[in-house]
Homo-oligomer: A and B are copies of this chain.
Amino acid sequence: MKPPPDSSQDTRQRLLEAAVLLFAQKGFDGVGIREISQKAQANSALVQYYFGSKEGLYLAAMSFLFDQGIDSVAALPAPPSLDEPEAFAKALDCLKGYIHAFLEELFACHDPAKCSRELQSAAHLFWTRELMEPAAGRVDIILGHVRPYADYLAACIRVLRPDLAEDAQFLMGSSIHAQIMFFHRDMSMISLLRGSAYGPQDVGTLATHISDFSLRGLGLGNTLQGVQ
């Protein structure tokens, strides 16, 4: 009947979440296990107890993020296959939806409020860091995280531009992903250059721009109305 005193796994969880947040903010070398355990209100020795080492904690944080993965892509309608009826129109919708969903995910809730998405926001910072220099040995986890995104987009493009070689299709997908991530990654620099940053309230604007720009880029400008 009494309130359960921190069941053991709760402490482990707090350590994991604190690790995600701080590793995302400052990188592996930027935080110490003391700072992490302080934020988690736990003893620093528990890092070794639960995860073996600081690197173990980092790996666990990655796996943790991967497991409770952000399902915005999984939640999207499956992209059509080539022989499907109305495949083209469906792929078009999928592509637009994907761009919007990905952007929304990236810009999700930067509120100080105890939003459950605080972790999500940090998660993408975390992945962005790891993406730039994938340490050997962690490659599988990162690929597992990234692959669904790449595959979804590739599937759309395969239907939209079946005439292109696979190489060319890959380039197209890269151009689209580049834009989506740019507005999130380079938020600070954009803010410096144009005076103000893009925020969650701009996701619609950004998604529309990227969609229009990319559909024209894909050579599908004729399917857009009202644009030169």
Interface residues of chain A, those whose CB is within 8 Å of chain B, are 26-27, 29-30, 128, 131-134, 139, 142-143, 146-147, 150, 168, 170-172, 174-175, 177-179, 181-183, 185-186, 188-190, 192-194, 206, 209-210, 213-214, 216-219, 221, 227-228
CA distance A179 to B214 in the complex (A): 11
Residue pair B175, A210 in contact (C-beta under 8 Å): yes
**Besides the known contacts A131-B186, A178-B182, A219-B221, 13 further A-B residue pairs in the complex with CB atoms under 8 A apart:** A134-B189, A147-B193, A170-B194, A171-B206, A172-B213, A174-B182, A175-B210, A177-B182, A178-B186, A216-B219, A216-B221, A217-B217, A221-B221
CA distance A150 to B177 in the complex (A): 20
CA distance A82 to B146 in the complex (A): 43
CB distance from A212 to the nearest CB of B (A): 8
Q: List 8 A-B contacts (CB under 8 A).
A: A29-B29, A131-B188, A132-B186, A175-B209, A178-B179, A178-B181, A213-B217, A216-B221
CB distance from A145 to the nearest CB of B (A): 10
Residue pair A192, B227 in contact (C-beta under 8 Å): no
Which of chain B's residues have a CB closer than 8 A to the CB of A183?
174, 178
CA distance A182 to B131 in the complex (A): 11
Residue pair A192, B27 in contact (C-beta under 8 Å): no
A133 to B, closest residue via Cβ: B188
CB distance from A103 to the nearest CB of B (A): 13
Which of chain B's residues have a CB closer than 8 A to the CB of A190?
174
Name A132's contact: one of B174, B177, B185, B221 (CB within 8 Å). Answer: B185
Which of chain B's residues have a CB closer than 8 A to the CB of A131?
186, 188-189
Name A29's contact: one of B30, B132, B186, B206 (CB within 8 Å). Answer: B30
CA distance A131 to B27 in the complex (A): 15
* CB-based closest 6 A-B pairs: A178-B182, A29-B29, A213-B217, A217-B217, A219-B228, A178-B178
Which of chain B's residues have a CB closer than 8 A to the CB of A177?
182
